[in-house]
Amino acid sequence: MSSPPPPGYYVPAVLFFKENEDLDIPAIQAHVLRLAQGGVTGILVQGSNGEAQHLSHEERKEAIRLTRKTLDENGFQNTLVIAGTGAQSTRETKKLCIDAKEAGASHALVLTPSTWPPQMNVENIIRFHREVADASPIPTMIYNFPVVTAGQDLDSDLIATLAEHPNIVGTKLSCGNIGKLHRLTTRFSSSEFAVFAGRTDVFLQGLLSGSAGVIGALVNILPKLHGRLYQLHVEGKLEEAMVLQGKMGHADWATGRIGGIGGIKAIVSKNFGYGETFVRGPLKAIDAASLTSNKYYAILEELIALERSL
């Protein structure tokens, strides 16, 4: 029986590039190391923040390999590497799952194909995920993110049906739907099917509803604060946890308004001493120097200072 990732807080890591759009190896390693030192349970390579669809197969494999190698060489052998393996065909998705295993990933996170949304009915979605799970040499998870799958939003009944497959072991709910999350956590234990909130602005709400934790973009910037929030929940310090969750929710919203992936890279580059702001088109790079005049960045400054103090 395949096992899900353990409870905790995970990061869909951004991937740093040079100006010529080649992988920036030292910056990628520096980011992986800071996240691991921040206590993350695992690193998701090629989640939506990792620009998976902008990479060749070899680049995708190399990013996974580099992440695993960096963790292992710095004493973080127990930090998981999960690989995003979403693609537009079942055949390619299966191949990416095999690549992920070879490069050192323990689990695969699978987006539903989105090129032909009118044909992606419930039957077709179930067939796709089951065929991928049958062929994958590592356990798979369902990645529900309507924003990047042409609006497809898998409901709790569909996800629960897929959860019965012996090699489908969890889900990342970037839809932010707490009702859906709670329906799933009351049907399955985290030891058999792990349900993760996909956004920091519902991290604590998800934990209170029985989630296994979070896989959220903001962890790229504030890994230690996510660990702090998780620990407050474990210790039952709910009032203190709610105050921090409120601040993190504002920070999550602000990061998206600054510019999504480009914004995250600019914030990391400005504050943590590594990485450039280059993205692959059609994404837009954000000038790190412009952050000081951005009203949304001001929301983040207090939490970045707190992150540095931990």
Catalytic residues: 143, 172
Q: Where are the alpha helices (DSSP H) in 222-279?
A: 223-234, 238-258, 260-272
19 burial type by CB count under 10 A (0-12 exposed, 13-18 middle, 19+ buried): exposed
For 195-227, b where at least 16 C-beta lie within 10 A, e where not — what string?
A: bbbbbbbbbbbbbbbebbbbbbbbbbbbbbbbb
Q: What is the DSSP-derived secondary structure letter of residue 15? A: -
- Whole-number Å distance between alpha carbons of 67 and 87: 21
Question: How many CA atoms does the CB half-sphere of 110 hold within 13 Å?
Answer: 38
Residue 43 main-chain phi, psi, to 5 deg: -120, 125
Which of 217, 309, 198, 224 lies closest to 263, judged by CA? 217
Give the per-residue SS3 of 68-123.
HHHHHHCCCCCCEEEEECCCCCHHHHHHHHHHHHHHCCCEEEEECCCCCHHHCCHH
In the annotated binding site for pyruvate, the residues are: 215
Cβ count within 10 A of residue 262: 18
Residue 289 tokens, joined? 């120097």
Cβ–Cβ under 8 Å, residues 5 and 212: yes
